[in-house]
Amino acid sequence: MRGPRLERNLSVPATMAAYLIRRLWQMVPTLFGVMLLVFFLFKTFGGDPAEILGGLNATPEQVHAIREQLGLNEPLWVQFGIFLKQVATFDWGRSWATNESVATLFATRLPATLTVMTPILILDVLLAIPGALAVAYVRGSLTDRTIMIISTLALSISFLVYVIVGQYVFAFQLGWFPVQGWSNSLWTNLTVYAPLPVMLAVLVGMAPQTRLYRSFFLDEIGQDYVRTARAKGMTEPVVLLRHVLRNALIPILTNLAVALPGIFVGSFLIEVFFSIPGLGREVLLAVNRSDYPVIQAVTIYLAVITMAVNLTTDVLYTFVDPRVVLK
């Protein structure tokens, strides 16, 4: 008995390693396709970078010199090779608007974005899952119907309304939080400047997440194994926590994987509304200024993050449900 069991246990890491290597290899052509699409989109619809850099008063000689400097007079395949080198070396040059290194810009702006985005993601999970499970527990009751009506109403309200009302009530009227500001201290940012935008973002996300997770739980409650567990004498809370929650985690993980890039992009709007010096505000400024190096870098990095999140989610499936086999 020990021999086959040991062989089976050893085969799990080997299977996992083979799966990771295969998935990472499959990501290469996907990322190449994204880079190819981004390159030709900017070439086709982005305008002439030399004219943008030169400005309205630039002479033809100055525009030509800029084109020579950026390699824009080279054939397309040479320009694409330069673009691939930028991606591989993480060297995107300098921002056209501020002349700041794009790598430095990311390194200095990303911490502020993560300071806002990470609490939003954690609180969304910690509040939405127990909330939806509690609503599923009282399914069909007046409480259930009331929460669903409130969630539907909350979904129909724009995030901008939440921001305006939240700033007016909690900042101007009650004076609990500042409307704007940021510091070099992580603790100060988490306790003083981030709570209001994080709270508003979580309130906005709670309504759709609660409705969606409730539907996941209700689907599981109707399965045969739940009726079997009840027939064995298990109480409803035990059935929900031990069986329903675990089996519903796979669609919940899938939803989180899909929502994570959206949370990252959504934090960009929060940074604008609350003047947080994060990456999102810098990206929106880059769009307004036609700052191509910054926009291209963000586009590629978002694609890489999305693929990495999807891969991580697939691996997490095996920990949530041992029946899932990676092939």
Domain ranges (residues) in the chain: 2-89, 102-320
pLDDT band with cut points at 50, 70 and 90 for residue 12 = low
Average pLDDT of the chain is 80
Q: 92 or 215: whose pLDDT is higher?
A: 215
For 313, residues 6+ apart whose C-beta sits below 8 A from its C-beta are 253, 254, 256, 257
Mean pLDDT calculated for residue range 290-318: 83
Q: 241 or 55: whose pLDDT is higher?
A: 241
Mean pLDDT calculated for residue range 52-78: 71
pLDDT greater than 80 at residue 109: yes
Q: What distance in Å separates the CA atoms of residue 302 and residue 268, rounded to the nearest whole number?
A: 13
Sign of the Cα torsion 241, 242, 244, 246 reads positive
**Residue 69 in contact with residue 307, Cβ under 8 Å?**
no
Q: 47 or 183: whose pLDDT is higher?
A: 183
pLDDT over 70, % of the chain: 88
pLDDT greater than 60 at residue 8: no
**Residue 171 in contact with residue 177, Cβ under 8 Å?**
yes
pLDDT band with cut points at 50, 70 and 90 for residue 55 = low
pLDDT greater than 60 at residue 3: no
User: What integer pLDDT is reported at residue 1 of this predicted model?
Assistant: 39
- Two tokens at 19? 């799966």
Q: 98 or 195: whose pLDDT is higher?
A: 195
Closest CA relative to residue 134, chosen from 200, 225, 218: 218
**Phi, psi dihedrals of residue 325, rounded to the nearest 5°:** -115, 125
pLDDT band with cut points at 50, 70 and 90 for residue 192 = confident
Domain 102-320 has CATH 1.10.3720.10: yes
